[in-house]
Amino acid sequence: MLNQGIGSWPTRRARKTPDRVALVHEDRSWTYSELHQRVLRLAHSLRELGVGRGDRIAYLGPNHPAFLETLFAAGLLGAVFVPLNTRLAAPELAYNLSDSGSVVLVHAPEQARAARAAADEAAVRHRIALDGPDEGVLGYEEFLAGGAVVPLDEVVAPQDTCMIMYTSGTTGRPKGAVLSHANIIWNSVNVLVDTDLTGDEVTLVVAPLFHTAGLNMTCLPTLLKGGRVVLLGSFDAERVLETIEYQRVTYMFGVPTMYDAMAARPRWATTDLSSLRTLNCGGAPVPARTIATYLARGLAFSQGYGMTEASPGVLFLDREQVSAKAGSVGVPHFFTDIRVVLPDGRDAEPGQRGEVLVQGPNVMTGYWGRPQDTEAAFSAGAGAGGHWLRTGDVARTDGDGYAYIVDRVKDMFVSGGENVYPAEVEEVLLTHPAVAECVVIGVPDPVWGEVGRAVVILEPGARADEHGILGHLHGRLAKYKIPKSVIVTDTLPRTASGKIIKLTVRDTYADGPADHPHHPHR
């Protein structure tokens, strides 16, 4: 085949395992042969619409087979897929559409209003709606059905652009990470090597496909291996437990809050979870109490660390090491390498903190239309064996090479000349029995320059005051690391992938006096 990109995967799978189930959604299933035919029809219809090599095709909607069909069809044509975050407002969507120059927008009925407004503002040429035709809009199923079922073998090289994935934009305007077919393929190979997925895998995908972990760490590796992908449109703990039991799920990915919500359901103790082989977690470290809850059911987590710009896998901790290397995010994936560097560019020794740099065939080619941002992202470490991607994350390694993420470079604040890494303080705060979740930010202080402020969510029914929470940290942290104030809240702002948006937390809670006489800073 001339197509060496991921658009060829349905064709290649159909010739190897045509009758094996590829996708399950709601009450329907599709074999690899059926998926191949639908992708082929969609690709031909898009080509008749004028879509060709290099054109951008955007998708807006929850997890659905059409998401994957559109991705693969774009790959067949040599076009570029642009997944959009369903939580964005119309002006934000319009920015992503305009920035990418998307010519087609495929969207679900739930996003019809935002899609219409964003597409109009961005001057997108064609809209295709999953719920059928409307004025000026093509109906997805009718559009797909009109396509031919004849071979389509466009020349697509591994280094060609596969997709543009926009970052969460928690620190400003989102940037489009340009991921090549090779990036996606190598990331999938890393997952297959390190996670040992099998051809009989039943993977539950409930994390949004428009985020890199849901798509590239679970869904695509499973399809490459010939397993079965079960798609849920959104996370509901009760439904997830039911699906695991009914579909005999073997593999799933989630963020810690998802796993906590599942364990809090009444049916947690009675649901048959015996089919589960691998629970992967990312987005945030898995709390010790969550690990203990799942170990009590005979289940262990594998954990990872990654970023959109690395497709996303960087570090991986398999389930056998979770207890022995508590708090670690593991060692680099098989075909990926990292360095931990000090501010002067020297490699850090074990135990020293420095910024994580990443290199590997899964690392993006750059930011879409942003040469200066691309140059800045790869500038550090260029003299040490090629370009290394700056992650902006601070880590230390132990003597065995296992990495421990300490904080974001930009999250660190300086208090009285001492560097304070909020993640370290948050880890200790979470050992307080009343604290369910927390964020630590730096706030101005007339004496120390900056001091910490903890914003916490309490466990349901728990009671704790500022004095008790801060008192819990004495003897566990150096005095300069202990926050000067605590704010209790019911919710924390999050991205669609479940990550807490620290910039919003700072904007919301940074004002107000930080000094409390009962708590000396030093």
What's the pLDDT score for residue 517?
A: 35
Q: Where in the chain is the domain with CATH 3.40.50.12780?
A: 187-408
Length, in residues, of the chain: 522
What is the pLDDT at residue 518? 33
Half-sphere exposure of 218 (CA within 13 A, CB side): 33
Name 160's Cβ contacts closer than 8 Å, sequence gap at least 6.
5, 78, 180, 181
Q: What percent of the chain has pLDDT over 90?
A: 73
Indicate the pLDDT class of residue 496, thresholds 50, 70 and 90.
Answer: low
How far is residue 123 from each of residues 100, 127, 137, 252, 375, measured CA to CA in Å? 12, 11, 14, 38, 30
What residues form DSSP beta bridges with 340?
356
pTM for the complete prediction? Answer: 0.83
Report phi then psi at 10, rounded to 5.
-60, -40
Task: Let me know: does 115 contact 49? Beta carbons within 8 Å.
Answer: no
Kindly indicate the confidence band of residue 326, based on its pLDDT and cuts at 50, 70 and 90: confident
At the topology level, CATH places domain 413-509 in GMP Synthetase; Chain A, domain 3 (3.30.300)
CA distances (Å), origin 136, targets 84, 114, 122, 147, 342? 21, 15, 16, 20, 56
Instruction: Give the pLDDT of residue 417.
Output: 62
Model confidence at 419, in pLDDT bands (50, 70, 90)? low
Which amino acid is it at 385?
G
In angstroms, what CA-CA distances link 466 with 149, 431, 446? Answer: 66, 15, 21
The per-residue pLDDT for 115 is 96
Report yes or no: 358 and 186 within 8 Å, Cβ to Cβ: no
Strands annotated E in 208-263: 228-231, 251-254
Q: What residue ranges in 318-434 does DSSP mark as E strands?
A: 331-332, 337-341, 354-359, 366-367, 389-397, 403-408, 413-415, 418-420
- All CATH 3.30.300.30 domain ranges of the chain, comma separated, are 413-509
Q: What is the pLDDT of residue 503?
A: 81
Q: Is the dihedral of CA 13, 14, 16, 17 positive or negative?
A: positive
- For the residues 59-86, what does the mean pLDDT come to? 97
The pLDDT of residue 515: 45
List every span in the chain annotated with CATH 3.40.50.980: 6-17+30-157
Burial class (CB in 10 A: 0-12, 13-18, 19+), 344: exposed
Q: Please tell us whether the domain made up of 6-17+30-157 is placed in CATH 3.40.50.980.
A: yes
Q: In this model, does residue 172 exceed pLDDT 70?
A: no
Contact 50, 38 (CB under 8 A): no
| CATH code assigned to 187-408 | 3.40.50.12780
Cβ pair 232, 204 in contact under 8 A: yes
Q: Average pLDDT over the chain, rounded to whole? A: 90
Question: What confidence tens digit (pLDDT) does each residue in 224-246 have?
Answer: 999 999 999 999 999 999 999 99
Question: Are the C-beta atoms of 402 and 326 separated by less than 8 Å?
Answer: no
Quote the radius of gyration of the chain (alpha carbons, Å): 24
Nearest Cα residue to 208 out of 267, 165, 174: 165
DSSP state of 20: S
Rounded mean pLDDT, 381-391: 69
CA-to-CA distance for 471 and 241, rounded, in angstroms?
A: 38
